[in-house]
Amino acid sequence: MQINEGEIEKRDIFIKQVEELSGQNLFGCYQCGRCSAGCPMVSRMDAIPSMVMRLVQLGDEKVLDKNTYWVCASCYTCDVRCPKGIDIAKVMEALRQIKLRKNLNYVDIKKIDGIEELPQIALISNFRKYTG
Amino acid sequence: MARIGVFVCHCGINIAGVVDVEKVVQEIAKYPDVVHAEHYKYMCSDPGQNLIVNAIKEKRLDGVVVAACSPNMHETTFRNACERAGLNRYRCEMANIREQSSWVHADEPEKATEKAIQLLQVSVEKVKLNAELKEAAVPVTRRCLVIGGGIAGIQAALDVADAGYEVILVEKSPSIGGHMAQLSETFPTLDCSQCILTPKMVAVARHPNIRLMTYAEVVDVKGFVGNFKVKIHQKARYVTSDCNICGKCEEVCPVIAPNEFDRNLSPRKAIYLPFPQAVPARYTIDTNHCLGLNPLVCGKCKEVCEPKAVDYDMQDEDVEVDVGAIIVATGYELFPKDKIGEYGYGVYPDVIDGLEFERLLSASGPTGGEIIRPSDGKVPKVVAFIQCTASRDPDSYMPYCSKICCMYTAKHAMLYKHHVHDGKAFVFYIDIRAGGKDYEEFVKRTMEEERITYIRGKVSKVFRRGDKMVVWGSDTLSGEFVELEADLVVLASAIVPLPDTKKVANLLKIPVDENSFLKEAHPKLRPVETLVQGVYICGAAHGPKDIPETVAQASGAASKAVGILSGKELYHEPTTAEVNIDACSGCRICVDLCPFGAISFNENTHTVEVNEILCEGCGTCVAACPTGALKLRNMTDKQIFNMIRAALSGGD
């Protein structure tokens, strides 16, 4: 991780974005790991919630490559248990928003097999979530 | 025929859970001269002590052995009990059947019981030949010496002086105040350091009971508790007390020297006042830089001095003083930058240590409180703070935690942000140790409100790239290598004792630990005392500590010193060595061997003499004496042989 004045500026913008969307002070996290320790979905995540908190704290956009915030069920267990009162589920939601607002297509309509078999509601919500 | 009473303690189940106390009592009752034996659950309790008192009176006992714990714990308790019953306290001994039997032989109760009986027999043999002794008394000089004029020495001196005793405060540099005078603000309240320190400095200067000797060093200490003879070397400062600190001398002085008070970040003249609030308020001529104290060579300061305070003929002098107690508060220094290779051996001007940063932050500092970096005077936009510099590094530097760095680094980062709002601070740390009142909250404030990025990992290298300082570290929390381009690097260097601390310790014969910090008599229960009676320690010379802890320890040391000074006489255990001058050949082997300096040679009689107040009864001299002229009271050869015989007769 290279940190210089330009990089610091870039990272600050990302940190600010996550903080504004989530309403949380990311610098409050002192990495106790309790969010990860109580997360019911943690076994499905490629980065545990506390690691996601660390990466956003450092303003590291690589955090968007992790599946954590998609796997997050928004059950709020982490929020209840966080000793610093940080609403981690809201941070996860912020990351989902940032990812979605990039307006990228994650599914190609032409490549979906058996499209006529899929429930229409599921199909529509899929497009809303995964396409720009 | 002696009349010995034996009292066996259960110590709850500590002893009775292993040793068969009933059997011990039955067996020892049969031993010659034992006329009374009993056991009880807790001998040290009031009812237990009363058993001893009553038995002494009823059975007319002339000796007592208590089989219980270590004499370190309760010897005084039981000796006091004997005294209450009218028995000389030195006719009471303890047999340690807890540490030396039940605790170490818990698996073998029968053998433990047997050993307890043997230990008792040994003690019975000893007490039989114990003489009735009386404690030695010496008068006390009611004056205290405090060595070191930092916050520790200032507080100790004020406390002793306020208690009504004379104090001599010796400080090596031209002003008292120590490192605390150099600090900008203090954690966790951000009080201005000088604002809270200078009232105390003024109080020292004005106190009728304090004699302040700055620019002076202790060079010799003789004597013992209550009666120390101290030689103090007063260096000539070439400016008399008529100085009114008008500063004209400084203006005309042509010599520029580095300003130690500003950690060499600014210049001063050869005639100087360390800082405006210095106590005493008096200039000093630094002879290492002055052109030579010779009016023919320069003499400018003397010419302009209106009160005629400059005196080139002033001489160094040695002052001898008598004191009853000594408090050592010689303080600390930071681990030298030039010995830390990975952070640049001190060659980069933009790698500074904590105290240098304090001077930059200080409103009275070399930059007037403006944060600029030393190399080019630019305001640093990115600052890296490196904690644990040379601390917690047993392989290359100091093994211990320097304790205050986590807090002052948080303070530094916070104050930096207060000065440079758009600046970015990064703190590299291994752990955050913020154990103190309001300390954790302070660190959290630094992180959350000042938004300082804490990176968990120790920095491995600092080097220059262009006009930036590159810091190589890692963030073990995210598992990534970190390369940070900073404008300024601040090292939270290890706290080390001043080299002078060892010198002072040698003069006073007090021990230092493996890191050359002063060593306390007991880490928990005697934290301000030393193994030399009448010598107390406080402040960072004893180990890294912050201001509140230093002040508390200084007050503790002062109260210990007052304890000595407030008595008319001091008493000392009489179980010391004594000389049979008819047998002494005057070989003086014992004189050099005595670890307490208690033996001296009398040139007139050509024999040695033991100072009963200094002698701690260790017996080294007795063992070494080739003519058997020295003996230890109540530990005579005859007693030892009888004890060995008793120890060997019991077993198979």
Burial class for B347, CB neighbours closer than 10 Å (0-12, 13-18, 19+) = exposed
Assess contact for B43 and B75: CB atoms under 8 A.
Answer: no
Residue B145 structure tokens: 């010496």
Cβ of B468 within 8 Å of Cβ of A27? The answer is no
The C-alpha atoms of residue B49 and residue B42 are separated, in whole angstroms, by 9
Residues A82 and A22 grouped into a single domain: yes
CA-nearest residue of chain B to A51?
B478
HSE on the CB side for A5, CA within 13 Å?
12
Residues A72 and A118 grouped into a single domain: no
Residues A49 and A73 grouped into a single domain: yes
CATH number of the domain residue A69 falls in: 1.10.1060.10
Question: Which of the four pLDDT bands, split at 50, 70 and 90, describes residue B565?
Answer: very high
Cβ of A3 within 8 Å of Cβ of B482? The answer is yes
- Summarised one tens digit per residue, pLDDT across range B430-465 is 999 999 999 999 999 999 999 999 999 999 999 999
Residues A16 and A81 grouped into a single domain: yes
Domains assigned to chain B:
4-133 (3.40.50), 143-232+319-331+504-565 (3.50.50.60), 248-304 (no CATH), 333-496 (3.50.50.60), 573-633 (3.30.70.20)
Q: Average pLDDT for residues B202-221, to the nearest whole number?
A: 97
Cβ of A27 within 8 Å of Cβ of B452? The answer is yes
Q: Which amino acid would we find at residue B282?
A: R
Cβ of B483 within 8 Å of Cβ of A5? The answer is no
Q: Which of B149, B145, B158 is nearest to B278 (CA)?
A: B149
Polymer length in residues for chain B: 652
Cβ of B485 within 8 Å of Cβ of A54? The answer is no
Alpha-carbon dihedral B264, B267, B270, B271, rounded to 10 degrees: -110
For residue A50, the distance in angstroms to the closest alpha carbon of chain B comes to 9
CB-based contact (8 Å) between B291 and chain A?
A: no
Residues A96 and A118 grouped into a single domain: no
Question: Which of the four pLDDT bands, split at 50, 70 and 90, describes residue A103?
Answer: confident
Domain hosting A69: range is 5-101
CB-based contact (8 Å) between B382 and chain A?
A: yes
Q: For a pLDDT cut of 70, what percent of chain B falls above it? A: 100
C-beta neighbour count of B66 within 10 angstroms:
31
- Summarised one tens digit per residue, pLDDT across range B399-436 is 999 999 999 999 999 999 999 999 999 999 999 999 99
Q: Which of B267, B235, B264 is nearest to B250 (CA)?
A: B267
Cα-based distances in Å from B354 to B184, B360, B399, B464, B500? 11, 10, 19, 20, 21
Q: Average pLDDT for residues A55-81, to the nearest whole number?
A: 95
Tell how strand B607-610 and strand B4-9 pair up.
unpaired
List alpha helices for B254-362, DSSP H: 300-304, 354-361
> Mean pLDDT for chain B?
95
From the list A5, A27, A55, the residue facing B478 with the nearest CB is: A55
Residues A87 and A26 grouped into a single domain: yes
Cβ of B448 within 8 Å of Cβ of A25? The answer is yes
From the list B382, B448, B485, the residue facing A28 with the nearest CB is: B448
Assess contact for B553 and B527: CB atoms under 8 A.
Answer: yes
The C-alpha atoms of residue B612 and residue B624 are separated, in whole angstroms, by 18
Residues A19 and A49 grouped into a single domain: yes
CA-nearest residue of chain A to B485?
A4
Residue A32 structure tokens: 């106790």
Tokens 């030892």 correspond to: B640
Which string of DSSP letters, residue by residue, matches B239-253?
B-TT-----HHHHH-
Chain A residues in contact with B453 (beta carbon < 8 A):
27, 57-58
Residue B65 structure tokens: 């052995």
- Residues of B numbered 447-476 whose beta carbons fall under 8 angstroms of chain A's beta carbons: which are they? 447-448, 451-453, 456, 468, 475
Assess contact for B312 and B294: CB atoms under 8 A.
Answer: yes
Task: Tell me: pLDDT of B651 over 50.
Answer: no
The C-alpha atoms of residue B329 and residue B504 are separated, in whole angstroms, by 10
Cβ of B444 within 8 Å of Cβ of A25? The answer is no
Residues A94 and A121 grouped into a single domain: no
Cβ of B478 within 8 Å of Cβ of A2? The answer is no
- Residues of A numbered 64-103 whose beta carbons fall under 8 angstroms of chain B's beta carbons: which are they? none
Q: Contacts for B466-472 with beta carbons within 8 Å, 24 or more apart?
A: B467/B375, B467/B376, B468/A4, B469/B348, B469/B350, B469/B351, B469/B384, B471/B384, B471/B386, B471/B426, B471/B428
Residues A74 and A15 grouped into a single domain: yes
Q: Which amino acid would we find at residue B566?
A: S
Question: Which of the four pLDDT bands, split at 50, 70 and 90, describes residue B652?
Answer: very low
The C-alpha atoms of residue B423 and residue B417 are separated, in whole angstroms, by 6
DSSP bridge pairs for B470: B463, B485
Query: What does R_g of chain A's alpha carbons equal in angstroms?
Result: 17
Cα-based distances in Å from B639 to B76, B192, B484? 22, 65, 73
Three-state secondary structure call for residue B223: strand
CA-nearest residue of chain B to A56?
B478
- Identify the residue with better confidence: B649 or B12: B12
pLDDT score at A109: 78
CA-nearest residue of chain B to A4?
B485
Residues A66 and A114 grouped into a single domain: no
- Residues of B numbered 412-451 whose beta carbons fall under 8 angstroms of chain A's beta carbons: which are they? 424, 426, 444, 447-448, 451
Tally C-beta pairs within 8 A across A and B. Answer: 45
Assess contact for B176 and B204: CB atoms under 8 A.
Answer: yes
Tell how strand B577-579 and strand B630-632 pair up.
antiparallel
Alpha-carbon dihedral B426, B429, B434, B438, rounded to 10 degrees: 10
Sign of CA dihedral A78, A80, A83, A84: positive
Which string of DSSP letters, residue by residue, matches A61-79?
GGGGGSSHHHH-----HHH
C-beta neighbour count of B341 within 10 angstroms:
10
Phi, psi of A59 (to 5 degrees): 70, 30
CB-based contact (8 Å) between A122 and chain B?
A: no
Phi, psi of B462 (to 5 degrees): -130, 130
Question: Which of the four pLDDT bands, split at 50, 70 and 90, describes residue A45?
Answer: very high
Polymer length in residues for chain A: 132
Question: Which of the four pLDDT bands, split at 50, 70 and 90, describes residue B292?
Answer: confident
pLDDT score at A131: 76
Cβ of A57 within 8 Å of Cβ of B453? The answer is yes
In B589-627, which positions are buried (b, 16+ CB within 10 angstroms) versus exposed (e)? ebbeebebebbeeeeeeebbbbbbbbbbbbbbbbeebee
Residues A33 and A64 grouped into a single domain: yes
Q: Average pLDDT for residues B55-84, to the nearest whole number?
A: 96
In B479-501, which positions are buried (b, 16+ CB within 10 angstroms) versus exposed (e)? ebebbbbbbbbbbbbbbbbbebb
Cβ of B382 within 8 Å of Cβ of A5? The answer is yes
Question: Which of the four pLDDT bands, split at 50, 70 and 90, describes residue B650?
Answer: low
Chain A residues in contact with B484 (beta carbon < 8 A):
3-4
The C-alpha atoms of residue A51 and residue A53 are separated, in whole angstroms, by 5
- Summarised one tens digit per residue, pLDDT across range B612-640 is 888 889 999 999 999 999 999 999 999 99
What's the structural domain count of chain A? 2
Chain B residues in contact with A25 (beta carbon < 8 A):
448
CB-based contact (8 Å) between A33 and chain B?
A: no
Residues A91 and A120 grouped into a single domain: no
Q: Average pLDDT for residues B376-405, to the nearest whole number?
A: 96
Phi, psi of B497 (to 5 degrees): -70, 150
Task: Tell me: pLDDT of B595 over 90.
Answer: no
